[in-house]
């Protein structure tokens, strides 16, 4: 529709907006030029007001209290079936049946890095950005198994251009043209504490990415699912952008997921034992005969702190947000937009916006808004049999979430050195440790050298690593 008609378009939206209590959205429109009015009209028209009304009145939200949870059954690498399962996972990789999938559409507000989080320099010595760490694992996996691994990267409207430019500027980290595919996730309007949609500017609604659960719909709507089918991909290896220790194409996990009788091959997750009752990770649990995840904010303190007969946390299966999903499962789940919706979670956050009465810009110092997001793990209970595999925190989990303290760049870098120290020690190298048992040197082992202690066999290694030294292998 032409810009000339923008004023009419906005006027025609007025009754709908009034009925939904959202008429303030066009309150500042008379200050706008025709192009800006047209932009605003387009944004407002694309908002699902009915969905928003349901959510702001508490319907369509995830239920934290749907029955008493119990701990899930888990499998681990010491399982007697592990060797066969690993072979099955290797077969899938050798036959090019697996795609890597990174969700990188988040806003990364806690870290406060000026750019997409995947561009953050994460490794201990060379400061490799997260995206390069994943690319090198993909290249190393291809070296071993000989088949190409397509890599799907989900961005958001806010960081898509910068993310794609980063890959271009870095020559896709050596991956082939066509191997890296980008898809942009959807958004939801942010609302104030009374449910009124917020404006970021007079011509712009305040939008937030619709959560990592939006990745499933984005896979369908971008055409990625069809493309995967055409490429012969059967399984999607899902991981977040913020964990440099993630093992993104793990044959053992793939094998358990695809070939174990405890799995339907639809959706699986990896866990590590929680550090303590207060750690801010969701936990896997069973509820209503299904395996799923309860977010840490939804787990009552009494359950978070409950112990089993062995004195371990009863709900100890911390979710590290590493999943396998079959292409067929995502296809089925997203086939019907009316029935495929995952429930929304409500998060109260600080949202920079316009004062809805005066139109002045506000930088809130206290949470003033609500964001609605869906979470990918809510798809797990929809799988017929979802499998949870236990793994080691030292080997696989050191996320970068906060600027300092726990789960920060500093704690993640120490964890990377600790993992690599343990690999070297397993090969007879003497590594300096500090009084707390942490590696006392900065040690980076690159994926193309080794992705496990075993893969260091036959490599040239130092005899010892001295305190304070920096080592790249
Ligand atoms: P987080 O829950 O850590 O959120 O996302 P975040 O937005 O990155 O960071 P904060 O909370 O603002 O500090 C976990 C993973 O899910 C992705 C993130 O990019 C990260 O890989 N994510 C999150 C999306 O892809 N889209 C979203 O809408 C939300």
The atom of ligand 1 lying closest to the CA of 111 is: 13
Tens-digit pLDDT profile for residues 413-458: 999 999 999 999 999 999 999 999 999 999 999 999 999 999 999 9
In the CATH hierarchy, which fold is given to the domain comprising 82-400? Spore Coat Polysaccharide Biosynthesis Protein SpsA; Chain A (3.90.550)
Tell me the whole-structure pTM to 2 decimals: 0.95
- Give yes or no for residue 465 CB within 6 A of ligand 1: no
Are 432 and 454 contacting, i.e. CB atoms less than 8 angstroms apart?
no
The answer on pLDDT for 1 being more than 60 is no
| C-alpha span between 401 and 403 (Å, rounded) | 7
Q: How far is the CA of 144 from the centre of ligand 1 (A)?
A: 31
Q: How far is the CA of 104 from the centre of ligand 1 (A)?
A: 7
Residue 471: the pLDDT is 97
Angle subtended at Cα 401 by Cα 395 and Cα 407, rounded to the nearest 5 degrees: 50
Q: How far is the CA of 107 from the centre of ligand 1 (A)?
A: 6
**Of 113, 182, 209, 212, which is best to mutate to test ligand 1, by the most ligand atoms within 8 angstroms of its C-beta?**
212
- Give yes or no for residue 189 CB within 6 A of ligand 1: no
Q: How far is the CA of 371 from the centre of ligand 1 (A)?
A: 13
At which residue do the structure tokens 């299966």 appear?
Answer: 317
**Of 101, 103, 106, 207, which is best to mutate to test ligand 1, by the most ligand atoms within 8 angstroms of its C-beta?**
106
The atom of ligand 1 lying closest to the CA of 155 is: 25
Reported confidence tier of residue 266, pLDDT bands at 50, 70, 90: very high
- For the chain, the structural domain boundaries read 3-46, 82-400, 408-473
SS3 content of the chain, % helix, strand, coil (to 5): 35, 20, 45
The atom of ligand 1 lying closest to the CA of 104 is: 19
Q: How far is the CA of 105 from the centre of ligand 1 (A)?
A: 6
Q: Are strands 204-205 and 199-201 parallel, antiparallel or unpaired?
A: antiparallel
Reported confidence tier of residue 3, pLDDT bands at 50, 70, 90: low
- Give yes or no for residue 407 CB within 6 A of ligand 1: no
- Give yes or no for residue 209 CB within 6 A of ligand 1: yes
The answer on pLDDT for 219 being more than 80 is yes
Tens-digit pLDDT profile for residues 382-420: 999 999 999 999 999 999 999 999 999 999 999 999 999
Residue 361: C-alpha distances to residues 23, 168, 202, 353, 410 (Å):
19, 35, 10, 6, 35
């Amino acid at each position: 529709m032409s810009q000339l008609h923008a004023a009419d378009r906005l006027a025609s939206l007025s009754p709908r907006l009034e009925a939904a209590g959202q008429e303030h959205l066009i309150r500042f429109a008379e200050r706008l030029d025709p192009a800006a009015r047209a932009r605003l009209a387009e944004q407002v028209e694309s908002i699902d007001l009915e969905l928003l009304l349901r959510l702001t009145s508490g319907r369509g939200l995830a239920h934290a209290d749907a029955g008493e949870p119990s701990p899930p059954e888990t499998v681990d690498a010491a399982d007697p079936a592990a060797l066969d399962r690993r072979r099955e996972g290797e077969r899938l990789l050798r036959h090019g049946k697996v795609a890597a999938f990174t969700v990188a559409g988040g806003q990364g507000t806690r870290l406060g890095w000026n750019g997409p989080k995947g561009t953050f320099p994460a490794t201990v010595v060379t400061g490799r950005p997260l995206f390069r760490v994943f690319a090198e694992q993909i290249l190393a996996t291809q070296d071993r198994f000989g088949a190409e691994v397509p890599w799907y990267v989900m961005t958001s409207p806010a960081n898509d251009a910068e993310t794609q430019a980063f890959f271009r500027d870095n020559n896709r980290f050596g991956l082939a043209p066509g191997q890296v595919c980008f898809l942009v996730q959807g958004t939801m309007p942010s609302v104030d504490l009374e449910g009124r949609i917020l404006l970021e500017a007079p011509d712009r609604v305040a939008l937030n990415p619709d959560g990592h659960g939006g990745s499933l719909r984005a896979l369908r709507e971008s055409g990625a699912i069809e493309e995967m089918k055409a490429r012969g991909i059967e399984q999607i290896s899902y991981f977040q952008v913020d964990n440099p220790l993630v093992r993104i194409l793990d044959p053992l996990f793939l094998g358990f997921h695809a070939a174990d009788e405890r799995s339907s091959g639809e959706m699986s997750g990896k866990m590590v034992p929680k550090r303590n009752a207060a750690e801010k990770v969701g936990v896997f649990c069973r509820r209503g005969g299904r395996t799923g995840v309860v977010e840490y904010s939804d787990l009552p303190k009494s359950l978070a702190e409950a112990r089993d007969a062995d004195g371990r946390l009863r709900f100890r299966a911390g979710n590290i947000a590493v999943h396998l999903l079959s292409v067929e499962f995502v296809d089925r789940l997203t086939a019907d937009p009316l029935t495929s919706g995952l429930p929304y979670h409500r998060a109260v956050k600080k949202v920079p916006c316009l004062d809805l009465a005066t139109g002045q810009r506000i930088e809130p110092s206290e949470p003033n808004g609500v964001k609605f997001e869906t979470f990918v793990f809510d798809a797990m209970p929809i799988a017929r049999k979802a499998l949870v595999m236990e793994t080691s925190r030292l080997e696989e989990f050191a996320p970068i979430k906060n600027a300092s303290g726990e789960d920060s760049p500093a704690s993640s870098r120490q964890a990377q050195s600790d993992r690599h120290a343990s690999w070297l020690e397993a090969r007879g190298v003497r590594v300096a440790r500090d009084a707390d048992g942490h590696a006392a040197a900065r040690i980076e082992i690159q994926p193309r050298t080794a992705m496990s202690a075993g893969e260091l066999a036959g490599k040239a290694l130092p005899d010892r690593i001295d305190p304070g030294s920096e080592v790249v292998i």
